[in-house]
Structure 1
Amino acid sequence: MNVNQIDTRHATSNSFELSRGNCFPFTTLPFGMNFFAVETHEDNWWFHPEAKHFRGLRLSHQPTMWAGTKGDFCSVCLLPYTRPTKGLKSVSYSPERSEFHPHYLKISQPNNQLETNVVPTEYGAVITMTSPQDQKGVLVSFPTSGTITKVEDKVIEGWSDQLHTHGKVPLKLYFHIEVATGVANWTRRDDDTYEIDFQDTPTVELRMGTSFISSAYAVKNTPVEPVSKLQETAANLWNEKLAKIEVTDLDQTKVSTFYHNLYRTFLYPQRLYEFDETGEPVHRDVYADEVKSGYLYMNNGFWDTARTVYPLYSLIEMEEYPKILEGFLNSYKESGFLPKWLSPEDSGGMPGNYVDAVIADAAAKGIRMDLMPEFLEGMLHSATVQDEKRSAGRSYCAEYLEYGYVPQDMHESVNHTLDYCYSDYCISVVADKLGEVELAKKYADQSMNYRNLFSKEDGFMVAKDREGNFNENFSPISWGGDYTEGCAWQSSFAVVQDIQGLINLYGSDEDFEDILVRLGNSKPAFTVEGYGHVIHEMAESEYNGFGQINVGNQPSFHLPYLYSYIGKPYYAQPLLKQAINRLFSDGWQGYPGDEDNGSMATWYIFNSLGFYPFCPGHDEYLIGMPNFDQAVLHLANGKDVSLTTEMNNPQQQFIHRVTESGETYHKSFIAHDDLVAGMNLNFELGMVPNPRCFDQERPFSMTKK
């Protein structure tokens, strides 16, 4: 699918009460430092696709809708106008006549006879305004905070800074705009906005360069090539990414949905590095406020993305992924802790420390092994050193080490405990790869601490107090409090490193099957004790209607694959087919919940292809349910993985037979080494389950059956 067919308004119709993606319509380059979008509102939800008015073209670094009104740091808003709309802070536009694409943005204002085009570059953009009307200009404002420092004949300069900061100093974005036809006049209004009129000409061209380093770098980063060439470059860069996976299907809506998701997997993390005069990468250390060498990235929540995004990069994205890993290591060197939620520095959001999973997954696949000794140092630091503010690293590290679990008086104690156990496993993986045998064993043993919270009586992971007593008021449908964005139903199975050990706690395969059947067949009921009100994830779980398997949020991403561990993967096949085709679309309400930095888009990518990285940090993918007549992954190593599906109709909801290069394939999982060597998988679908399709060899678990 060509980039011209991607509409960036995908999944942008949302509200505080219900998320259908909570996305923005970003025009940018893959992993671009700046995003460009239309601003239609003032609040967190500053774009809606049905709005008939807009407040300007917004240069954005928005990491998530939930970062707050100041979460879009270092942003600048440019509202184009002609004489009839001069002085207005919001003007009408026609979304029907406008075009929203990754590589260019066109805004049509019919009543104003004005068309504005934006073409993104690596560190800036070219904006052209065309109209027969005279007195064209822009109203410049700052959604966060900023100022214009210079307006000359053909130059506008200024900066925008970061108010929502956890570092020592706010980050500052410098911008330099060259006006081909010149500035006529400008005024600063009382509301800290700037009206800048340009010399009369049918077309005004603005060439914008930006930098987090200096105004001189902003000048250096200003594009000089013709607009047509820049747009061609942007299109080529996007088409190269979209061509990494080819899917074909009789249902073209499915194909369109796939590529809209693939576009979103290459937005985050955003580059926070630039290039010096010698072509070497440099960046601003957001803690020391100094310019340093090397790569750096921003805007990524690892609690979300570690589960899906980076395993996909390990297969198809070797241009940027090695640099991204190096950037994460630089974050550790400069902050003192491995990052949890970069926005742009570590905001400390969400439980656990899921960057450990990214590191372990790379180590398991032999990616950037040169970085692993320092990464292991950082992982151990987070596992043993308590941050005074309880923000960086493991928020409740001291209590976890003392009790073997996080006590109930600590916020979201169950999820913190289970996530720390998973991180312990990840540490053991990296230590083992580096030959640290004793260290690997220590953390492998510590990863079994999840057993401390399993209540045999309740059949769930239940919070404990400091005396070792389980919560007497436990309810499996009570959201929040002890759990993160869910209840015991979603959280109790967050032991991806040791599902067989979890089965043993339940007693047997049959006992585990009983709880999994209840998981899928229970009503999506909830109570609100932990939050005191209905949060949007509750509403989405009820609205989506997939029992207690809330695939609209990250804690449930792996739940359909639990059935593989009792030798019955066919239980999950209709569930996955229904979820992929009922809950995802290429429209304005494209997701069953928050998309979150590419995490849900990549969940869709994997699951629509028919395999899934159940436990990042282990080099194995579980077979799910393919959704396309044919798909080809062009792997980063030059090999191809071909997947074809026979009888791919809505009523065929089960896998009847799998072959690889013509030979029957009986395993319910695929090893990474086999996948990257190139495979030719054929799936024959059927109307009823075939219990003999796969053998009884179970996927990886630390505890063996």
Structure 2
Amino acid sequence: MPSHRGKAGDIGRIPFGPFAQFDLDLIRYFKHCPRILPECGAFICALCGATFWDIASLKDVFKGIPLTDSRFSSRQKALLVAVTFASCGAAAQAQSASTNWMGYANPLQGTNSSGGFSRGNTLPLVARPFGMTDWTLTTGEGGWGWFFDPNARAIQGVRATHQPSPWMGDYGYFSVMAQTGKLYMKPGARASTYRPDESVIAPNYLKVPLRRYSTTLEMTPTERCSVFRVTFPKNELGRFIVQMEGDSRVQFDQQKGIISGFTRTKPDGSPENFACYFTARFDRPWKRVLLANEDKVNESATQVEGNRSGAAIEFESNEPVVMQIGTSFISTEQALQNLQSEVGTRSFDAIRTQGQQVWNENLGRIEVDGGTTEQRRTFYSSLYRAHLFPRMFHETDAQGKVVHYSPYDGKVHDGVSYTDNGFWDTYRSVYPLFALIQPERYGEMITGFLQGYREGGWMAQWPSPGYRVSMPGTHGDAVIADAVVKKIGGFDVKEAYAAMTKHANQPSPQRGAGRNNIADYLKYGYMPGSVSETLDFAYDDFCVSQVAESLGLKDDVTKYRQRAMNYRNIYDPKVGFMRAKNAQGEWRAPFNQYEWGGPYVEGGPWQSTWAVQQDPAGLIALMGGKERFIAKLDQMMVEPPRYDVGGYGNEIHEMTEMAVTHFGQYGHGNQPVHHVLYLFAAAGQPQKTQYWVRRVMNELYSPDGFAGDEDNGEMGSWYVLNALGMYSLCPGRTEYVLGSPLFKSVRLRVPGRPNLTIQAPTNSDKNVYVQKVSLNGKTHEPIWIDYADLAKGGTLRFDMGAKARERDYSRTPELLPHSMSK
């Protein structure tokens, strides 16, 4: 969705309401010319693409013009009032039956990124929530990483993508493009100029005028399919191009009017038979089909196989041509079955409308009132990001049975499957958010993740789509433990526990599964040479203990809780940080508090020392008590953002992103510090948590970008939870620590549960400090709230003020977040 501002002097017509045109001076003064965009329910400038996301935002622009301004006549002032309140009021009335939360979401958020500097490293995904196949514009060739650049002005096609992160790469991908004139198969040669201000990129809908071809391409997705509608110039031959990547095959059936095929683009370690299949059909007969390999056309072939197989399907039509295309990881026949069940005979507009409804049903589980338009846009853009991953990897066959291709053993099995998730990132915020708003989906996801354990023998660390090597720890443990303690249900807890205890104790021969060098960790009580792995393993052991407790396994509880205290083995009081030891128990030397890499993953001592979510009280004691602990946290927030590249050998983007913000050594652009601000609360100073989280929300998030890699919804979920006024300091526990809510009122509407209303009526930019909290009319003293209380619904009220409220918690430690040490 375009969101840039217009330039002074923009003029044009307003095609809504009773007025046809502003006076020229008035338009030049406002610099905007709004119109209603039906697909998204937003007001869009017809000339410059500036976006007004609701009636309030439109009024925000108008209210800055004083009605006493002598440059405007009485008629102009009356017109201003009429447009602001009459025309906009009519639009508001039309929206009142079903608020279009999707209209706030900006799929371009975070896309203006590169490998050297991330504002999210996202793609503008047009998709259904948790859909198996997503769709995105592509402006560059290649299957790795950064194939969409929002600053480019030529597109090569619309890609069917399964990329969860540019660092993981894409798989099972292919492209669709529309074209007139001479046939060009090569992506760079066929590219067409487009103008973002003429285009629409919404969660459910894509519209791009291709200026080179005088053609308009539209697309709307389902979970595993999509529908394209292309309007070619009248009396000209038009064509669709469907092009696979890598080892692939494409064929067509003239009698059935079907194009089908597959691509075997896949990550390392995938089964040999891995493929993404497609089947496409059209709403009218084609004139001819040309097949190609390596961009070379074979005019007589009905099937081609090799590298970059593709098809050019030509039409003579003065009406828009519709292509329906289904995808599958099982077969071309299953792709057709997916097409039949998800699209059938429904029209393009019916699918688009359904997509909007589905997105509004999911995003509307949180209804926000208050805040600025930018805050609401940031909120729902972040919530949209949280609903993209993990992706479903299962399909429904012709008999109505749920089945899936296994990326672990290459076979087709019954049941659900989910993939594309970096647990090292997502356990921190995504799943605590899902527990609140997607509890039924959460349990199903764990069942899907356990397929890796059933079919490959181990639970994947970073499934994409199968085993991938990336990041330390086995933080799927936290995802499971959080669901168990919150009684989410929907999965086999005993089976999950068996998967957890296997990788907690046994070396894994499978790359991308298990804990690296687990034997050394068990022998020494720490990982020689590694701070990050020691801390991650200790936290994961705590999560194992939580599940053991739910199963009544007392001996296991004792065993894993003892292991969860191993963090104490690598704290060096002389330097005041967690520090690596070798196998002989000697500290790694020399020590440099600013050095990244080596013992620390994507950080250094400042960013990594705090990863003891399971035992804040123990960490506080280890670091010399509350006063010294808080002083260290205070220092972190103001310490110059200096860094030495250390073991990385060069500046990585996380270093850059920390250095350009104004939060000291607190590098919010990467996940290891995302819980740290809540350690202030754990130490008895929640007012500092409130101050800093509000600053992070206001300064490091926007509708356009993030402070660093968004990472499968984690960065977005952090914002959503904090905007609600809470955060899960320790996933695997039932508590959410209270922060500083962003909006005056929020309502959580989850099917099957009572509504939960979160109120902060005195909230404002200045009133960031919590004065009092009440739950259902009764004073709530703890600075945390239990999940069970949130799930019961009711009203959680924050009374906010401009002055920090300080309190001594030394005699009431039960009011502080829980720790293993108390």
TM interval, shorter chain, is over 0.9
Aligned length: 695
**Which residue among 701, 718, 727 is the counterpart of 1:612?**
727
**Residue 200 (structure 1) aligns with:** 316
**Residue 92 (structure 2) aligns with:** none
Taking the aligned partners of 1:164 and 1:308, their CA distance within structure 2 comes to 27
**Residue 78 (structure 1) aligns with:** 176
- What is the identity, as a one-letter code, of the residue corresponding to 1:130? T
**Residue 669 (structure 1) aligns with:** 784
Moved more, 575-584 or 685-694: 685-694
CA contact (8 A) 1:635 1:676 kept: no
Offset, 1:508? 1.5
- What is the identity, as a one-letter code, of the residue corresponding to 1:141? Q
Moved more, 195-204 or 626-635: 195-204
- Change beyond 3 A, Cα 1:292–1:250: closer
- For structure 2, the residue ranges without an aligned partner over 5 or more in a row are 1-99, 296-307
**Residue 101 (structure 1) aligns with:** 202
- Change beyond 3 A, Cα 1:287–1:687: closer
Query: Identity over the aligned pairs, expressed in percent?
Result: 35
Taking the aligned partners of 1:21 and 1:193, their CA distance within structure 2 comes to 32
- Change beyond 3 A, Cα 1:295–1:675: same
Taking the aligned partners of 1:123 and 1:423, their CA distance within structure 2 comes to 34
**Which residue among 334, 346, 366 is the counterpart of 2:467?**
346
**Residue 278 (structure 2) aligns with:** 175
CA contact (8 A) 1:85 1:91 kept: no
Offset, 1:449? 0.7
Offset, 1:618? 0.5
CA contact (8 A) 1:72 1:144 kept: no
- Whose RCO is larger (CA < 8 A, sep 6+)? 1
**Cα deviations across residues 29-72 of structure 1 (Å, max 9, x unaligned)?**
111000011001125211122211001010000010112xxx21
Taking the aligned partners of 2:518 and 2:245, their CA distance within structure 1 comes to 37
**Residue 770 (structure 2) aligns with:** 655
SS at match of 1:237: helix
**Cα deviations across residues 288-307 of structure 1 (Å, max 9, x unaligned)?**
22111011111111001111
Offset, 1:551? 1.5
**Which residue among 116, 135, 139 is the counterpart of 2:241?**
139
Matches within 5 A, 1:421-570: 421-570=538-687
Offset, 1:635? 3.5
CA contact (8 A) 1:189 1:195 kept: no
**Residue 49 (structure 1) aligns with:** 150
**Which residue among 408, 422, 432 is the counterpart of 1:311?**
432
CA contact (8 A) 2:472 2:516 kept: yes
Offset, 1:142? 3.0
CA contact (8 A) 1:74 1:145 kept: no
Offset, 1:334? 1.0
**Residue 257 (structure 1) aligns with:** 378
Moved more, 634-643 or 462-471: 634-643
Offset, 1:462? 0.2
Taking the aligned partners of 2:540 and 2:693, their CA distance within structure 1 comes to 27
**Cα deviations across residues 429-468 of structure 1 (Å, max 9, x unaligned)?**
0011001111111101111111110111111110000100
- Change beyond 3 A, Cα 1:543–1:357: same
**Cα deviations across residues 264-288 of structure 1 (Å, max 9, x unaligned)?**
1110011110012232210112232
**Which residue among 231, 243, 248 is the counterpart of 1:130?**
231
Offset, 1:250? 4.3
- What is the identity, as a one-letter code, of the residue corresponding to 2:821? T
Moved more, 88-97 or 241-250: 88-97
Taking the aligned partners of 2:334 and 2:478, their CA distance within structure 1 comes to 35
**Residue 166 (structure 2) aligns with:** 65
Offset, 1:636? 4.7
CA contact (8 A) 2:722 2:740 kept: yes
Taking the aligned partners of 2:687 and 2:111, their CA distance within structure 1 comes to 34
**Residue 185 (structure 1) aligns with:** 289
**Residue 10 (structure 1) aligns with:** 109
**Cα deviations across residues 356-391 of structure 1 (Å, max 9, x unaligned)?**
000100110112275110111111100111123553
Taking the aligned partners of 2:293 and 2:409, their CA distance within structure 1 comes to 35
Offset, 1:231? 1.4
**Residue 162 (structure 1) aligns with:** 265
CA contact (8 A) 1:35 1:59 kept: yes
SS at match of 1:313: helix
Taking the aligned partners of 2:117 and 2:334, their CA distance within structure 1 comes to 41
SS at match of 1:73: coil
Offset, 1:693? 9.6
**Residue 61 (structure 2) aligns with:** none
Taking the aligned partners of 1:693 and 1:498, their CA distance within structure 2 comes to 20
Offset, 1:193? 5.2
CA contact (8 A) 1:567 1:698 kept: yes
Taking the aligned partners of 1:141 and 1:8, their CA distance within structure 2 comes to 24
**Residue 796 (structure 2) aligns with:** 681
Matched, 1:356 2:458: no
Offset, 1:599? 0.6
Matched, 1:691 2:806: yes
Taking the aligned partners of 1:105 and 1:319, their CA distance within structure 2 comes to 30
**Residue 193 (structure 2) aligns with:** 92
Taking the aligned partners of 2:706 and 2:801, their CA distance within structure 1 comes to 27
CA contact (8 A) 1:75 1:144 kept: no
Taking the aligned partners of 1:433 and 1:369, their CA distance within structure 2 comes to 15
Matches within 5 A, 1:328-343: 328-343=449-464
- Change beyond 3 A, Cα 1:277–1:193: closer
Taking the aligned partners of 1:693 and 1:670, their CA distance within structure 2 comes to 19
**Cα deviations across residues 234-256 of structure 1 (Å, max 9, x unaligned)?**
11111100110011114111111
SS at match of 1:199: strand
CA contact (8 A) 2:111 2:120 kept: yes
- What is the identity, as a one-letter code, of the residue corresponding to 1:101? A
- What is the identity, as a one-letter code, of the residue corresponding to 1:259? Y
CA contact (8 A) 2:462 2:512 kept: no
- What is the identity, as a one-letter code, of the residue corresponding to 2:691? P
TM-score normalised by structure 2 residue count? 0.82
Offset, 1:687? 2.1
CA contact (8 A) 1:607 1:625 kept: yes
- What is the identity, as a one-letter code, of the residue corresponding to 1:245? I
**Residue 213 (structure 2) aligns with:** 112
Moved more, 218-227 or 428-437: 218-227
Moved more, 683-692 or 350-359: 683-692
- Change beyond 3 A, Cα 1:79–1:262: same
SS at match of 1:443: helix
Taking the aligned partners of 2:310 and 2:520, their CA distance within structure 1 comes to 53
Offset, 1:152? 2.7
TM-score normalised by structure 1 residue count? 0.96
Larger radius of gyration: 2
Taking the aligned partners of 1:657 and 1:289, their CA distance within structure 2 comes to 56
**Residue 278 (structure 1) aligns with:** 399
- What is the identity, as a one-letter code, of the residue corresponding to 2:154? H
**Residue 702 (structure 1) aligns with:** 820
Offset, 1:3? 2.0
**Residue 299 (structure 1) aligns with:** 420
Offset, 1:505? 1.0
Moved more, 317-326 or 594-603: 317-326
Q: Which runs of 4+ in 1 moved over 6 A?
A: none
CA RMSD of aligned residues (A): 1.7
- What is the identity, as a one-letter code, of the residue corresponding to 1:497? Q
